Amino acid sequence: MANKSIKKDQVKGLLDKLAESNQLIAPIQSEGITLFKPVKSGEGVVLDCQNALVPPKDFFFPQSEKMFTYDISDPSWAITPVEGVPNRVLFGARPCDVKSILLLDKVFDAEFRDDYYLDKRNKTTIVALSCNDARHTCFCGAFGISPGEAEGADILLTDLGDRYLAEVLTEKGEALVSSCANLFTDDDGNGPAAKEKAVAPAKEKQMQISLEGVKEKLDNMFDHPIWDTESLRCIGCGTCTFVCPTCHCFDIVDFNNQSSIGYRYRCADSCQFANFTRAAGGHQPRPTKKERIRQRFLHKLRYFVDRYGDFGCVGCGRCLEKCPVNLDIAQIINKVKEVG
Amino acid sequence: MNNVTENLRKTAAKLLQDQEVKMVIGYGAGSEAVRTQPLFITSPEDAEKLVWNPFCVNGLTKYLSDLKGFDGKIAVVVKGCDSRGIYRLTQDNIVSRDQVVVLGIPCAGQMSYQKLAAKMDVSGQLTDVEEKGENLEIKTSKGNFTVKKSEVLLDKCALCENHNPVVADHLIGDKLDIAPKPDDYEEIKKYEAMSTEEKAKFWLSQFERCIRCYACRNTCPGCTCRECVFDTIKPDWVGKEINVSENELFHLTRAMHLAGRCVDCGECDRVCPMDIPIRLLNKKLLKDCKELFEMATPGSSEEGGSVLGQYRLEDPEEFM
């Protein structure tokens, strides 16, 4: 489909329309905090803001998710699966977060197909939003991500001042535009050039980090003393993993409140927690913070590459901004390049 | 380099050189201009990496608990607020006073990374920072910036009780003669005046955001249980599920476990990635304990302990 354009004053109408027949998920601000939330209309949706405090990952891989209910007093255990989600539109996801969803696909849509994830993934149309500015912690370029591209999204919007350029990337995107055709106009042909100009500050302002040789170097750094020194200041909280758009480890737990009826849920778990790898009998293969932070950095920068051919980080910068002790993955990358 | 940094480096190097301590915990340069990071050094040569500036926000005393069993004495840098954490740890028998060398630094207030990042480009490296009257002149590799101190001060520092550390084996820098501003709890009174429904509405909307990273617990010098109730798998007092009800149970339990013990260092509040005003809960408990038991802020003196773990004949008992 040819490039489209939508005037800024039409966006609320678009969101209102989308919310009529979909669950609409969009960034809203409350008490100065931006978060993706399900909304009933375009009211309160903010697009000219920095990226959300936590990624929209939660709408594909919720931090907690009920899997099924059961009643063990029933001879067949009465296992009842939970209902899937309705059709949804994720609106305003940034290029880094869109890329993270492609990375999660590699995990959840692989040899083992995770129905819980795929139900949400398949029923969601992603309308991405280019970045016109970068935060001081952004470094998506290091991973080959551009603030003005969003492979994996269905539509990519770019703020061009009075209007958004709408690049329709997939059939799902075409369907969305067709359903609201009166709100879009054909782009006048200047869109792509204007887009390059609009996203240039985001490219220039972000941290310029090169990953050249980092993976190869990490291949031989499992026993390097860097993990001893860097782990000392870690306080073992789960902030980095829970604000991360690509972290996907989870635990499965039954909740039954001492009765025969209960439900099984899964919830995000953190490799930084002391009991994350604790096995029955008490064996702990990652007994100290050293093994735990090494796992986190090697998972992102080495194991994920080995397994899926891509880095497990998108440079969104959330973990480095939020880490209470300034354990900064961009700084770690630079240190890895420097150490002998 | 400021005098305090110079003195700190000298003192740290000498302590390590003389083998009086085997480790010094202080602050080193951070990855961005207005950040520092906790630094652990074990050789006198590394003392050059220590820094002191208005961005030394972290409390470092909790690391003493992590390093329990470390072979040798540890010196730790404390500000006034953090210094109360030293007595928290000794009163709780987590560390023994004779195993710690306290390097106390008088502190006029620390600056918030979040507030600074909203006002200036923080992405460079710090080259110099100077206090000039009401302003802070911050020189970085990305340019020089002048900010008004009062606009970027950590909230907690506006009501500082101890600009000078309550304990210091070595006082680095001159004592500050700033009158302490004891908290009059105006903010807490605002919440106390709310109806139960209003309070519930406010707090549940805050707890709803919690991602249960446990940073507030992990940074707290009062949270030193051998096995935390929130980590216990059997019985699972608090489920791992993230929902407002479990989150509420977590926050209220965490706060109550610190009633009469919280040293009001404000670290829980600073580290929260979701900007939940955790300190308000602790403040309310502090206010209640102070009013009921004429308690000083915990950790203010060597003697003490937990006011709720003690009994005095004159304790109020209106509820009995």
Question: Measuring CA to CA, which residue among A260, A255, A261 is closest to residue A65?
Answer: A255
> Is B143 in CB contact (< 8 Å) with chain A?
no
Structure tokens at B277: 């005003």
DSSP 8-state assignment for residue A136: T
Chain A CB contacts of B39 under 8 Å are 233
Total structural domains within chain B: 2
Classify residue B211 by burial, with Cβ atoms within 10 Å: 0-12, 13-18, 19+.
buried
Q: How far apart are CA A298 and CA A336, in angstroms?
A: 11
Residues pairing with A80 in the sheet: A69
Where among B171, B205, B228 does a domain terminate?
Answer: B171
Where among B142, B171, B200 does a domain terminate?
Answer: B171
| Cα pseudo-dihedral A148, A153, A159, A165, rounded to 10 | 100
- Tens of pLDDT along chain B (320 residues) come to 689 999 999 999 999 999 999 999 999 999 999 999 999 999 999 999 999 999 999 999 999 999 998 999 999 999 999 999 999 999 999 999 999 999 999 999 999 999 999 999 999 999 999 999 999 999 999 999 999 999 999 999 999 999 999 999 999 999 999 987 777 899 999 999 999 999 999 999 999 999 999 999 999 999 999 889 998 877 888 888 999 999 999 999 999 999 999 999 999 999 999 999 999 999 999 999 999 999 999 999 999 878 888 888 888 887 76
Where among B113, B139, B171 does a domain terminate?
Answer: B171
Residue B317 inside a domain? The answer is no
Chain A CB contacts of B212 under 8 Å are 238, 242
pTM of the model: 0.95
Q: Do B37 and A232 touch (CB under 8 A)?
A: no
Chain B CB contacts of A241 under 8 Å are 213
Are residues B109 and B11 both part of a single domain? yes
Question: What is A12-74 written as a DSSP string?
Answer: HHHHHHHHHHSEEEEEEEETTEEEEEEESSSTTB--SSPPPSS-GGGGTS-SEEEEEEEETTS
Predicted complex ipTM = 0.95
pLDDT in tens, B298-318: 999 999 878 888 888 888 887
Mark the ranges of chain A whose per-residue pLDDT is less than 70. Answer: none
Chain A CB contacts of B62 under 8 Å are 235
Are residues B59 and B137 both part of a single domain? yes
Q: How far apart are CA B32 and CA A330, in angstroms?
A: 11
- Neighbour tally for B221: CB within 10 Å: 28
Q: How far apart are CA A150 and CA A164, in angstroms?
A: 15
DSSP 8-state assignment for residue A280: G
Residue B98 inside a domain? The answer is yes
What distance in Å separates residue A328's CA from the closest CA in chain B? 7
Q: Do B36 and A326 touch (CB under 8 A)?
A: yes
| Domain that residue B245 falls in | 186-309
Give the closest of A233, A267, A274 to B241, CB-based: A267
**Mutate: best of A231, A240, A242, A273, partner B, most B CBs <10 A:** A242
CB B187 within 8 A of CB B101: no
Straight-line distance from the first to the last Cα atom of chain B, in angstroms, rounded to the nearest whole number: 60
Chain B CB contacts of A324 under 8 Å are 58, 215, 219, 270-271, 273
Residue B181 inside a domain? The answer is no
Structure tokens at B147: 């900010």
Residue B316 inside a domain? The answer is no
B100-104/B74-78 β-pairing: parallel
Residue B176 inside a domain? The answer is no
Residues pairing with A267 in the sheet: A64, A251
Are residues B110 and B167 both part of a single domain? yes
The size of chain A, in residues, is 340
